[in-house]
Structure 1
Amino acid sequence: MEAALRKLQDKLQSNFHLKKSGGGSKFFSGTRRGEGVELAADLNSTDRDRQKNAVKRIIANMTLGRDVSQLFVEVVKLGQTLNIELKKLVYLYVLNTAKLQPDKALMAVNTFLQDANHASPIIRALAIRTMMCIRVECVLEYTMEPLRKAVVDVDPYVRKTAAIGLGKLFHLHPRTFQEQNFTALIVKLLSDAFPMVASNAAAILTEVNAFASTPVQLTPEIANHLLNALPECSEWGQGYVLELLAAYHPATQEACETMISRVVARLAHTNSAVVMGAIKVIAANASRCGPELLANCVPRINAALLTLAKSDPETQFVVCKNIHVLLVVFPGLLANNVDYFYIRFSDPPYVKLEKLRLMLKLVNTPTAAEAVVKELAVYTGEVDLSFLKEVVSAIAAVAIKVDTVAPRCAQLLMELVAKRPEVLPQVITASKNIVRKYPELLLLDQLLLDHGADAVGDEDAKVSLVWMLGEFCDFVESGPTILQQFIETLMGQEQSVQLALLSAVVKVFLRNPTGMEATLNHVLDTLTTYSVDPDVRDRAYAYWRLLSKGVGVENMKKIVHGRKPPINVDRTFSDAMTVNEMRSALNTAAAVYGKPSRAFLPSYGGADMGEESDEDDDIADAASDAPSSVATPGAPAPRTEDIFGGATTAAPTQRAPAHKDPFDDIFASPAPIVKAPTAAVVPPPPARSSSSIDDIFGSPSVASPVQPSASPAQNLPPQVLSDQQTGSLAYHATIRCQPSPVLMLAMVNRSSSNATGFVLQLNKNSFGFVPNVPLADCISSPSIAPNGTATANVPLRISDTHFVNSRHEAEIAVQSNFGLHIFTVRLSADSFMHAPAPTLAQATFLQQWRSLDESSEAKVLIPAATASVIRSLGVEEVKKRLEAYHCTIVAQKSKDGQMNIYGGCRTHLGLSILFEIVTHQTQVDQCYVCCKSMRVNDVLPSMSYFVDIAFQPSSSQAAVPPVAAKKPFTADDLFS
């Protein structure tokens, strides 16, 4: 008797210890030898406590990442127990093991089917939930019938679980979901008498409608039932029901008003999601309701939003984003409550920026504008520079919206730049926006004299400054001088600055034809001769032809000083969003991003029940017209080792390892990016003193020198900078990429003294090229005598820190005793793509083209001149030219004035591309290059540049005369 009492006491203490420790941490102790045999013995015992502890130890081992799948059979047998706690543990084990070993999941199906018909609703729901969570294809067919029975189960808890199971089935296998009409079961659950079931069904139907091609429409009876059940649902259930009701559009105005009246009470709910859901229902039906009802609803919406604006920072941010949408539906919303969105010092940065943007949106009256300007004056003392820049833009926006405060805003900008010179670029841009609307507020002289605006380095600021100099040149005495400073470094400026300079010089020329004649001729000649940017070159040609045709000063002024479109300071959403899309964006992530959901969410491929896309059909049709030399779709895909044949091998550069590119299955393993041979490498020379050229493009590390060129080349590369431009040296240069990148440079001394001290550097470019050795170590002669020539073949390497997508030519600076000279070198089309061309099968092309989603696809328009050349060549000639440049063409067709070319290539950097080139006979906006690649943002600019130089108009095809035929014009040409 005493022994039995002691045993009972020990067991009670053990149980107490387990409960006190929160479930038994002893199960997570270290493994022991033979523990698997011990666990199997415990599982096969008849003692429930031993079985339960054994399963707990198994789950603990599984949690720690240990393999316990060998005990699957013993654990599954325990699923027949009547103990709910043990059954839950068994189901948890099966659920996790099935994900790793799907073939074993079938062993537990019989247990699930039996439990789905159990007398206890808890066990029935547990079985349904576990089956739908396994997400294994082989179990799917066994879940259909139990799921249908659960939908009509007598217990609401089981029906609620069935509703969630239907959602899991939709995501697991959408096609089966549609084919077996499970949508009808969800609609049936919407009419359930228990609000918990109806709200879960509403959540699932909302999700299904978001991805299905044909959304399910509610009937008036179901909508009325959901409105009746709304107050009895949980707060999250109410949010789902309101989201579904927002997509429902009653047939009559009376029904709309009735629904809004029954939803308005939710505006006072404590849950912000419920409040925003109610606002979304009202906004979705506001256009079909009478003005009296809206007049009653708007103040209540106002009060609800102001309450939410006092919540935590995250809620404030989301509410401010949604208010932007609501102002489209209710323009007068919060008109008198701007002060509620004043920024507090404790607000996080993201809330500050959003409140600032919202204040600008709410400013519509002079009284509100004066108050906001005073508030913005307080914000100018902020330490955060990024926020201060936004304040500068906000000051200009208020000035543009309300003219009565414009002088005060201009004065405030001058006060700000005097205190904080670091915001000078933003002040210049803001001043430009103000003077566009109020020319009398021009403060350019003050910016130039007091704050040194002419030395600003920001691109947008330079564009704004140049625009003001050209637009108001009569009011700025130093305007022509400052423009001349920019013109001296014209080819070193960004594209936008070059375009602004071109327009500004033409404007000044129209006011002073005689004085600006030489300057304009120099700018036009430079841009048409040396610019590699098609936009800059084409605009320079356009001005050249206009000025040469004698159109007259007044007509030129109408062209150059055309009507300026108004500045839109209230733009919050993407231009692609319609008003209906904005209403649908309420209370979703689309309102936060300011763009439709399709722009940032991946497509739900499994739910698409439609046919193959028209684009795929076009590719297939074009492939059927391809010559027999191209592999047929039925042919097997080539092996990766056979595609390139004998691939060129070279030492790889030291770059970060890239992720797996699926195009490698098409084009074989990517060709390594080559660098200079290492056979001639010697220890690096001692460190030299830094040169001023490093301050221009940076100073990347320089590799060891190689042997200099033996003698100057007899045939010089193309000239890129003449001695008339430099006053001393003429530069000839080109870049050759095969088999390894090399800059071939020649310098001719046209001065009367020796040229020495050569240092070379490359600016950041889309190729990542930097010199692999110093120029002084590979030049044929360190000193160039008068009328002498020196050549150098400078090996180039790829630098991770030297990539920039916006510059598709190599901008090179050479410094010598004659000063610093900068020029650009274009990469020739025949060396742009990696050789040899890959052998690409049509079937593989189609498979990979379809497998890449929208995030891996991008398009860019083809310039009109280039598209004209492509159309004039014809399909076959275009194909031959692309193949000559190491591209593989898999299909082509020409029909109804439209030409389509499909193919693949790999750039010299080893990036794989699938492309489509489309040109149209009459529609310019239908001429584009479409690229698909895992790194589409990196390859699209390069592919566009390649197409431009591969089909560059020749002298016989170009619409404009060649550079040599251009005739400098005089001021008299305007009146001829």
Structure 2
Amino acid sequence: MPGEKSRGEIGEIRTQLNALSASGSRPEAAAAKKELFKKVINCMTIGIDMSSLFMLVMTAGMSNAEDVVLKKMLYLFICTYAQSNPDLTLLTINLLNKDCKDQDPTIRGLALRSLCSLRVANLIEYIVSPVSLALQDRNPYVRRTAVLGVLKIYNLDAAAVRNAGMLEDLHDMLQKDPDAQVVANCMSVLLETDSGQSLVTRALVISLLNRIKEFSEWAQCQVLEFASHYRPSDEQEVYDFMNVLDDRLSHSNSAVVMATVKMFLHYTLSMPATHQQVLERIKDPLMTLLSRDNFETAYAVLCHFHLIAQRAPIIFSQIYTTFYCRINEPSYIKHLKLDILAAIADETNAYDIATELTEYVNDIDEKLARKAIRTVGKIALEVQDVPGLVERLLGFLDIGKDFVTAETIVQVKDLARKYPDIAEVCVGSISNISLEDVEEPEARAAFIWILGEHGQGIQDAPYLLEACAQGFTNEEDQVQLALLSAAMKLFFKRPPECQQLLGVTLAAASAESSQDVHDRALLYYRLLHHNLQEAKRIVASPAPAITRFAEEQSPEQRDHIFDELNTLAVIYRKPSSSFTNAVPAHKEEEDEGLISIGGGSGGAVAAAAPAPVTAPAAAVDEGSSLLSHDEQQEAFFADPTSNGTPPAAQTPSPSPAAPAMDLLGLDDLLGGTSLAPPPAAQPQQPPAPPPLQLRPQPQLSPQVFQQKWGTLTNMAKFQHRLSASAMAFVEANKHQDFCKKVTAANIAVMASGGAPPTYRFYFHSQRADRETRILTESIVDKNTSTMQIIVKADDTDSPEQFQRLYQSVLDTL
């Protein structure tokens, strides 16, 4: 019985503690106390609650005040059970305060650290005074502990720290303290607090960099990260800083090297010629880090190589052999090296790289072989003029492995989309493949797309698709959609051969349970019945050449990641705002639900709006209708008749035109049942309303906004799904990027804020053709990537017109 065993152990320890407490401070009792305390700590470690022994442990530990080891275990016991026993913890304050004045600096530091680790808010008043005294202690160990204690108190009660003037003391110590670790601790604490925003000054940066060799390796990384946020006043200052830090590039610690690299690159961004020289200078230190046997470090360095190579591929184009895979490397290193090879490939090395990748296609590791094929395809897309690259890719079709053929077909499809002029070569190689031999859905969809897009050059294309159409119901959704499109396109190129194929495909698709497949089949059928020439123009028009694929990372996103060099953003290949919470953990509760109006600290009004609101900042009335939207919103979106659209925006859809032809007997192929709706009179469509024009820089005070929001009745409610890039805009830079985009459309920001996963935005605008005011509330749910919007206006037609304008703005993010 674990419970009975635990109770038995606690009873035995209690008896021993009583006996040792009565023995006093005799030397022979000290050793017994240490062993007993070790037993108590062991029980705590395995999860046994020892809080019932609190007073006995205190009594036994206090009798041997000079024993440092015993004190360490006593302090650990006190800190562990302080929060669950705040009343008993109060009894330990005198002991800890007394030890904070001990002659031994080790005991002073241990006592101070334990005192600050109690984490009991009611005891803050007893902690502030010892910490303030310890900041002036003559021993550096005590000062280091006291500096970190300031941060612990700040997380519990920031006002107590400010009132005691501790932050000002840390500012002084940051510049004057002789101990480097104390200075590093001061810098870390100040950066964690609000006062750290104004730390980056020229005098402080110069002071820290001049004594950087005195810091520990961890502290050096902190100093370099801190200094990277400073902007030098001129080029000479940049050179001075780089000369001071040049030897850090050859440091044995990889973190110090990477922090120095970040500083060099950021300092020279506005100096193109120097930036190019810096890229050349950092190449050798990074290559040295790669030569070490630590694969985890190598992976982090390679991620930075990949990011830098995307910005300046020519720097590494001559050392491309360095990124060839080695047999002893783990798969994650090999895959990353292939990405780098694709990034640095150019006319001078593309063929050699493709030749090396050809060897990897035969590797026993299937994932690596697939990655190698995708990399050859990517190189062929980027460096199209190099002869032999396409032939290398098409040569993979002769290997005879199913997964190699599947991956190759997908890459050939992308090549044909981007370079239609080489499509004939690609189609000729693929025409000999049987569709039955291609089993992977993505590859089947790609093969079918080629047959539909370039079927006029493949003699058996209609018959290959016909065989696939017979098993339509067994295909995946993406294959069914590709087959529908291919049948339509091929029908307009080879009508007699594809009439039956199209009929069979439309009939099978119209009976599918997948809504996408079913709706596309109805769309194609109604297009054909409405107007054959219009259907051909819509479906079979020559497709423009692809210039950039959606899967590729945008240059703007790469620049954003480059700004966060030497962080996890480089490893994850996405901005930190997409995977971190910008609000510190100790501030989440106090910040939750707060909205700043008129450019307060929680919002982005001051930075985003071209003309800031002239009224002073005002607190939001929690009882006002501005924030009591939840009940109204839930009622609206729960209403099955609303369909997420305001009544004013719900218009009946026009009936389709009556069929004008039988389309070569298509209805017979569908079993005599027409998919077209019964004939109905075509209503005359009203002319499209002109786009809504808004006045630039509208002015509105928060008080008027509150008043109008509670009285306006003309409204539109709708929901909009945000793309990944739109969510990045919302979360980045404290919402400032999103607010700037909205402001560019003459929609002014009234308030913004909130805490993840919910963000709130309030906007106002004014029509250019009249005095109508338009107020908007937008609530973003990060978990579902949706924005729920309420629009209110002075007249009835503005909400619907503003809805279209606002959705177009969101779609451009």
Identify the match of residue 498 of structure 1 among 447, 466, 480. Answer: 480
- Residue equivalent to 2:15: 37
Q: Point out the more displaced range, 515-524 or 374-383.
A: 515-524
Deviation at 1:169, TM superposition (A): 4.0
Once the two structures are superposed, residues 460-509 of structure 1 have per-residue CA deviations (whole angstroms, 9 ceiling, x without a partner) of: 11221111111111111111112223333445433322332232223213
Whether the 8 Å CA contact 1:76–1:107 is kept in 2: the answer is no
Whether the 8 Å CA contact 1:98–1:134 is kept in 2: the answer is yes
Deviation at 1:85, TM superposition (A): 3.0
Identify the match of residue 196 of structure 1 among 181, 196, 199. Answer: 181
Aligned runs of 1:723-734 on 2, under 5 Å?
A: none
Aligned runs of 1:180-259 on 2, under 5 Å?
A: 184-191=168-175, 192-206=177-191, 208=192, 215-259=197-241
Q: Tell me, what secondary structure is at the counterpart of 2:252?
A: coil
Whether the 8 Å CA contact 1:133–1:168 is kept in 2: the answer is yes
- Residue equivalent to 1:12: none
Using a 3 Å threshold, how does the CA distance of structure 1 residues 518 and 613 change in structure 2: closer, same or farther?
farther
Whether the 8 Å CA contact 1:397–1:569 is kept in 2: the answer is no
Whether the 8 Å CA contact 2:406–2:443 is kept in 1: the answer is yes
Q: Which runs of 5 or more residues in structure 2 are unaligned?
A: 1-5, 597-621, 636-666, 673-718, 724-772, 792-799, 809-813
- Tell me which amino acid in the other structure corresponds to 1:62: I
- Tell me which amino acid in the other structure corresponds to 1:607: K
Distance across 2 between alignment mates of 1:247 and 1:453: 57
Distance across 1 between alignment mates of 2:158 and 2:527: 61
Residues 1:397 and 2:378 are matched in the alignment:
yes
- Residue equivalent to 2:567: 588
Once the two structures are superposed, residues 186-237 of structure 1 have per-residue CA deviations (whole angstroms, 9 ceiling, x without a partner) of: 444432332222223334445x27xx69844411111111111212111221
Deviation at 1:109, TM superposition (A): 1.7
Deviation at 1:267, TM superposition (A): 0.5
- Tell me which amino acid in the other structure corresponds to 1:156: P
Using a 3 Å threshold, how does the CA distance of structure 1 residues 919 and 268 change in structure 2: closer, same or farther?
same
Whether the 8 Å CA contact 1:174–1:606 is kept in 2: the answer is no
Identify the match of residue 51 of structure 1 among 19, 30, 34. Answer: 30
Using a 3 Å threshold, how does the CA distance of structure 1 residues 393 and 39 change in structure 2: closer, same or farther?
same
Deviation at 1:40, TM superposition (A): 2.1
Q: Kindly report the root-mean-square deviation, in angstroms, between the aligned alpha carbons of the 2 structures.
A: 4.3
- Residue equivalent to 1:143: 127
Once the two structures are superposed, residues 144-187 of structure 1 have per-residue CA deviations (whole angstroms, 9 ceiling, x without a partner) of: 33333333433322222223333444555668768877655544
Using a 3 Å threshold, how does the CA distance of structure 1 residues 726 and 58 change in structure 2: closer, same or farther?
farther
Residues 1:131 and 2:115 are matched in the alignment:
yes
- Residue equivalent to 2:586: 606
Identify the match of residue 622 of structure 1 among 620, 629, 632. Answer: 629
Q: Tell me, what secondary structure is at the counterpart of 2:178?
A: coil
Aligned runs of 1:186-585 on 2, under 5 Å?
A: 186-191=170-175, 192-206=177-191, 208=192, 215-289=197-271, 291=273, 293-311=274-292, 312-327=294-309, 330-363=312-345, 365-405=346-386, 407-415=388-396, 418-438=399-419, 439-440=422-423, 442-444=425-427, 446-447=429-430, 449-450=432-433, 452-517=434-499, 519-520=501-502, 523-524=505-506, 527=509, 529-531=510-512, 533=514, 535-536=516-517, 539-540=520-521, 543=524, 547=528, 550=531, 552=533, 556=537, 560-568=541-549, 571=552, 577=557, 579=559, 581-585=560-564
Deviation at 1:308, TM superposition (A): 0.9
Deviation at 1:441, TM superposition (A): 5.8
- Residue equivalent to 2:42: 63
Once the two structures are superposed, residues 763-799 of structure 1 have per-residue CA deviations (whole angstroms, 9 ceiling, x without a partner) of: xxxxxxxxxxxxxxxxxxxxxxxxxxxxxxxxxxxxx
Aligned runs of 1:797-876 on 2, under 5 Å?
A: none
- Tell me which amino acid in the other structure corresponds to 1:122: T
- Tell me which amino acid in the other structure corresponds to 1:504: A
Identify the match of residue 95 of structure 2 among 105, 111, 119. Answer: 111
Distance across 2 between alignment mates of 1:114 and 1:197: 24
- Tell me which amino acid in the other structure corresponds to 1:43: S
Q: Tell me, what secondary structure is at the counterpart of 2:247?
A: helix
Once the two structures are superposed, residues 95-152 of structure 1 have per-residue CA deviations (whole angstroms, 9 ceiling, x without a partner) of: 2333554443222122222223334432222122112333333444433333333334
Distance across 2 between alignment mates of 1:901 and 1:322: 36
Q: Tell me, what secondary structure is at the counterpart of 2:629?
A: helix
Whether the 8 Å CA contact 1:115–1:127 is kept in 2: the answer is yes
Matched residue count: 632
Q: Point out the more displaced range, 422-431 or 405-414.
A: 405-414
Using a 3 Å threshold, how does the CA distance of structure 1 residues 308 and 57 change in structure 2: closer, same or farther?
same
- Tell me which amino acid in the other structure corresponds to 1:499: L
Q: Tell me, what secondary structure is at the counterpart of 1:64?
A: helix
TM-score under structure 1 normalisation? 0.57
Once the two structures are superposed, residues 718-763 of structure 1 have per-residue CA deviations (whole angstroms, 9 ceiling, x without a partner) of: xxxxx999999xxxxxxxxxxxxxxxxxxxxxxxxxxxxxxxxxxx
Whether the 8 Å CA contact 1:574–1:595 is kept in 2: the answer is no
Deviation at 1:63, TM superposition (A): 1.1
Using a 3 Å threshold, how does the CA distance of structure 1 residues 90 and 243 change in structure 2: closer, same or farther?
same
- Residue equivalent to 2:706: none
Deviation at 1:582, TM superposition (A): 1.5
Whether the 8 Å CA contact 1:574–1:594 is kept in 2: the answer is no
Q: Tell me, what secondary structure is at the counterpart of 1:403?
A: coil
Identify the match of residue 144 of structure 2 among 160, 175, 186. Answer: 160
Using a 3 Å threshold, how does the CA distance of structure 1 residues 611 and 553 change in structure 2: closer, same or farther?
closer
- Tell me which amino acid in the other structure corresponds to 1:586: L
Deviation at 1:392, TM superposition (A): 1.1
Using a 3 Å threshold, how does the CA distance of structure 1 residues 178 and 454 change in structure 2: closer, same or farther?
farther
Deviation at 1:388, TM superposition (A): 1.0
The sequence identity of aligned pairs, in percent, is 24
Deviation at 1:90, TM superposition (A): 1.8
- Residue equivalent to 1:90: 74
Deviation at 1:354, TM superposition (A): 1.0
Q: Point out the more displaced range, 606-615 or 354-363.
A: 606-615
Distance across 1 between alignment mates of 2:276 and 2:595: 48
Q: Tell me, what secondary structure is at the counterpart of 1:134?
A: coil
Q: Tell me, what secondary structure is at the counterpart of 1:361?
A: helix
Whether the 8 Å CA contact 2:265–2:278 is kept in 1: the answer is no
Q: Tell me, what secondary structure is at the counterpart of 1:250?
A: coil
- Tell me which amino acid in the other structure corresponds to 1:606: H
Q: Tell me, what secondary structure is at the counterpart of 1:336?
A: helix
Distance across 2 between alignment mates of 1:305 and 1:448: 47
Whether the 8 Å CA contact 1:410–1:431 is kept in 2: the answer is no
Once the two structures are superposed, residues 23-54 of structure 1 have per-residue CA deviations (whole angstroms, 9 ceiling, x without a partner) of: xxxxx9x9597542232221341314413531
Q: Which runs of 5 or more residues in structure 1 are unaligned?
A: 1-27, 629-722, 729-856, 862-894, 904-911, 929-976
Q: Tell me, what secondary structure is at the counterpart of 1:117?
A: coil
Q: Tell me, what secondary structure is at the counterpart of 2:316?
A: coil
- Tell me which amino acid in the other structure corresponds to 1:91: Y
Q: Tell me, what secondary structure is at the counterpart of 1:449?
A: coil
Distance across 2 between alignment mates of 1:302 and 1:82: 56
Using a 3 Å threshold, how does the CA distance of structure 1 residues 146 and 245 change in structure 2: closer, same or farther?
same
Tell me which protein shows more helix as a share of its residues: 2
